[in-house]
């Protein structure tokens, strides 16, 4: 069997997108690696190779030791001011602008999709751009959170009411607040494009199945293999920052 060239893959993905009536994109950490944000599971590079997520990023860990929690999270929150959207973010936003992508579901908490111009975004794992007091519910910005950490002797961001601020991210042990909305959009989809996701984190990894169950098709763009590769119409193991812009270029220039 003849191996497809990269351009043939680009054309095939573009054709699937062109023929779709309701395409939904699901993104994971692999979209943001091109912006300098490390992912979680890449061998030798992933964050979880260096730290046990349940020890520092679970709800129990936050409640037990907010100081240790912020030792891990503070540099990540601060670094978001120094990173910028990459060509993959831009390509996804362009697909929405062109009318092909109807909704973007993201596992990422870095706000880069919104900064690029994506409009309909469901953040299933929350966001680092805001924090909420666990006692009174007051919300503050990431910049205000960093300021409160630095002003505290314990390096813990306290609210005026005495409560502790927690980033609006979904920690291990917490429910996903926007899961129902993500499921609804996945059920509407006749095409789901997963980009930069290992598809290993439950329950988000089940979203493509809702699309498939209604007869939709699945495109997977990810360097590493995923558990759902065998269900995909096409699996692309290319750099998302170069592959997706080429797909957009074809959609802008070629009439099928």
- Count CB-CB contacts under 10 A for residue 150: 11
Same-domain status, 32 and 95 = yes
The 8-class DSSP code of residue 119 comes to -
Same-domain status, 149 and 237 = no
Structural domains in the chain (count): 2
pLDDT of residue 44: 46
pTM greater than 0.85: yes
Q: Tell me: the pLDDT tens digits for 120-173?
A: 999 999 999 999 999 999 999 999 999 999 999 999 999 999 999 999 999 988
Beta pairing, strands 139-141 & 126-133 = antiparallel
Q: How far apart are the C-alpha atoms of 24 and 214, rounded to whole Å?
A: 14
**89 an active-site residue?**
no
Same-domain status, 147 and 119 = no
Q: Ramachandran region of residue 155, left (φ > 0), alpha (ψ -120 to 50) or beta? A: left
pLDDT of residue 255: 54
The mean pLDDT of the chain is 91
Same-domain status, 117 and 138 = no
Q: Residue 117 sits in which domain range?
A: 1-37+85-125+175-256
pLDDT of residue 52: 58
Q: Which of 89, 113, 125, 178 is catalytic?
A: 125
* Rounded alpha-carbon distances, angstroms, from residue 81 to 39, 110, 145: 18, 10, 13
For residues 185-198, one letter each, b for 16 or more C-beta atoms within 10 angstroms of the residue's C-beta and e for the rest, the string is bbebbbbbbbbbbb
Same-domain status, 191 and 237 = yes
Of 169, 184, 203, the last residue of a domain is: 169
Q: What's the distance, Cα to Cα, between the start and end of the chain in Å?
A: 25
pLDDT of residue 39: 63
List, for the chain, all residue ranges whose pLDDT scores fall below the cut of 50. 41-49, 256
pLDDT of residue 41: 46
pLDDT of residue 55: 66
pLDDT of residue 79: 86
């Amino acid at each position: 069997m003849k191996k497809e060239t990269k351009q043939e893959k680009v054309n095939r993905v573009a054709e699937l997108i062109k023929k779709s009536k309701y395409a939904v994109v699901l993104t994971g950490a692999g979209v943001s690696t091109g912006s300098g944000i490390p992912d979680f599971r890449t061998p030798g590079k992933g964050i979880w190779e260096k730290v046990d997520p349940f020890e520092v990023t679970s709800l129990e860990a936050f409640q037990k030791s907010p100081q240790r929690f912020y030792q891990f999270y503070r540099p990540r929150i601060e670094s978001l001011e120094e990173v910028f959207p990459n060509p993959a973010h831009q390509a996804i936003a362009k697909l929405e602008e062109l009318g092909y992508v109807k909704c973007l579901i993201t596992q990422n908490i870095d706000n880069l999709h919104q900064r690029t111009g994506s409009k309909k975004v469901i953040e299933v794992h929350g966001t680092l751009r805001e924090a909420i007091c666990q006692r009174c519910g007051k919300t503050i910005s990431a910049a205000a959170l960093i300021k409160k950490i630095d002003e505290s002797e314990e390096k813990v961001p306290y609210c005026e009411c005495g409560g502790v601020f927690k980033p609006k991210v979904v920690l291990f042990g917490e429910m996903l607040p926007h899961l129902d909305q993500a499921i609804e959009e996945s059920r509407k989809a006749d095409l789901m494009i997963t980009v930069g996701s290992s598809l290993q984190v439950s329950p988000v990894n089940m979203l493509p199945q809702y699309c498939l169950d209604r007869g939709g098709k699945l495109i997977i763009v990810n360097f590493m293999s995923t558990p759902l590769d065998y269900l995909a119409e096409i699996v692309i193991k290319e750099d998302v920052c170069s592959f997706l812009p080429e797909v957009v270029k074809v959609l802008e220039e070629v009439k099928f």
